[in-house]
Homo-oligomer: A and B are copies of this chain.
Amino acid sequence: MSAEISAAAIAAGDRRALARAITLVESRRPDHRAAAERLLDALAGTGEAMRIGLSGTPGVGKSTFVEALGLRLTARGERVAVLAVDPSSARSGGSILGDKTRMERLSRDPNAFIRPSPAAAQLGGVARRTREAVRLCEAAGYGTVIVETVGVGQSETLVARMTDLFVLLLAPAGGDELQGVKRGIMEIADLVLVNKADGDLAAQAARTAADYAGALRLMRPRPDDPEGYPMVRTVSAATGAGLEAAWAAVEALAGARRASGAWDRTRAAQRAHWFDEELQAGLAELLAADPALARGLEAARRDVAAGRAAPAAAARAALAPLRRGALDASRDSP
């Protein structure tokens, strides 16, 4: 693979260039990394998709839902990209072929771009590669980018920080049956969809939706959103029932946030967050570059975690060598 990919090819919507660019941001090779950074910087400010995060409980029918929604959007001539985040693929080998197999019709649609989770060998930082892949799809002119997470570890929080709206897909369940919704997911949901609202499960899906609407009303008031709290709808990915209404809810929410300025504020805050993350990563690299300093930091962190040292004093002592270095550097500058 040549490391250089033209920004113009991406901007022109060249699918092969986009696929290669995503492989580039997934790579850990230093020359690939440098090329990826140049490419992203050249594309800064181009394209703006609606970025949608999606999570769901196991067995809820996420792929069927994404395919059904995606096909509806592409049928209107819209372009849709689907990215998968699976932090566990480094361990399990990932769902490399799974996504495309599951979304067979959407994957053949010329207006859709589906990118499964990378194989372990290609894994860079999960957050960085996914965020950068979102940017690439956006720059390539996809108007909707869906970032689907398999719901392992902290992936929802991570995805919420790189998307505009977060959709949580639930299955119909009885009142006393816990859904196994992971801690922290309900907090970031902008829209809760109860899937499988068809046939025998339709009534139960409606009850589940009412239960969650009640709970969200008590626990997650959002005065600025169209309904004052996260919206809840029932859908059936299998029959298509409720999908248009669910998409209308997405658009109503996006419209309200654009009008209030919240949309742009969130985007700016997200970008600042990712800058700070990159800054921390860069500083961590600096610290690691000096083995003695890195060992000192590790020992200090262990002492603090064990309660043998106080955080402030330990951090100050561990940073002392770098402090001298930085002062030397600042004296060298004019």
Partner of A215, one of B219, B222, B328: B219
**Residue A272 is within 8 A (CB to CB) of chain B in the complex:** yes
Partner of A289, one of B38, B128, B286, B330: B330
A82-90, A99-107, A302-310 - interface stretch: A302-310
What are the residues of chain B within 8 A of A332 when measuring CB–CB? 325
What are the residues of chain B within 8 A of A199 when measuring CB–CB? none
Tally of this chain's copies: 2
A332 CB to closest chain B CB (Å) equals: 8
**Residue A300 is within 8 A (CB to CB) of chain B in the complex:** yes
A209-B268 Cα distance, complex, nearest whole Å: 39
**Residue A251 is within 8 A (CB to CB) of chain B in the complex:** no
**Residue A301 is within 8 A (CB to CB) of chain B in the complex:** yes
What are the residues of chain B within 8 A of A245 when measuring CB–CB? none
**Residue A184 is within 8 A (CB to CB) of chain B in the complex:** yes
Q: Which of A313-334 contact B (CB under 8 A)?
A: 313-316, 318-319, 321-330, 332-333
What are the residues of chain B within 8 A of A333 when measuring CB–CB? 290, 292, 321
A269 CB to closest chain B CB (Å) equals: 8
What are the residues of chain B within 8 A of A324 when measuring CB–CB? 329
A76-B146 Cα distance, complex, nearest whole Å: 58
Partner of A315, one of B267, B281, B312, B316: B281
**Residue A217 is within 8 A (CB to CB) of chain B in the complex:** yes
Known contacts: A310-B135, A313-B40. The answer to whether A219 contacts B274 by CB under 8 A is: no
Q: Which of A172-209 contact B (CB under 8 A)?
A: 176, 178-181, 183-184, 186-187
**26 sample A-B contacts, Cβ–Cβ < 8 Å, listed by A number:** A36-B312, A40-B310, A40-B313, A41-B310, A41-B313, A135-B310, A178-B221, A179-B218, A180-B221, A181-B218, A187-B187, A211-B218, A215-B218, A269-B305, A274-B311, A277-B311, A278-B316, A279-B297, A279-B318, A280-B280, A286-B319, A286-B326, A290-B333, A322-B326, A325-B330, A328-B329
Those 5 A-B pairs whose CB atoms lie nearest each other, nearest first: A325-B329, A278-B315, A215-B215, A290-B330, A40-B310
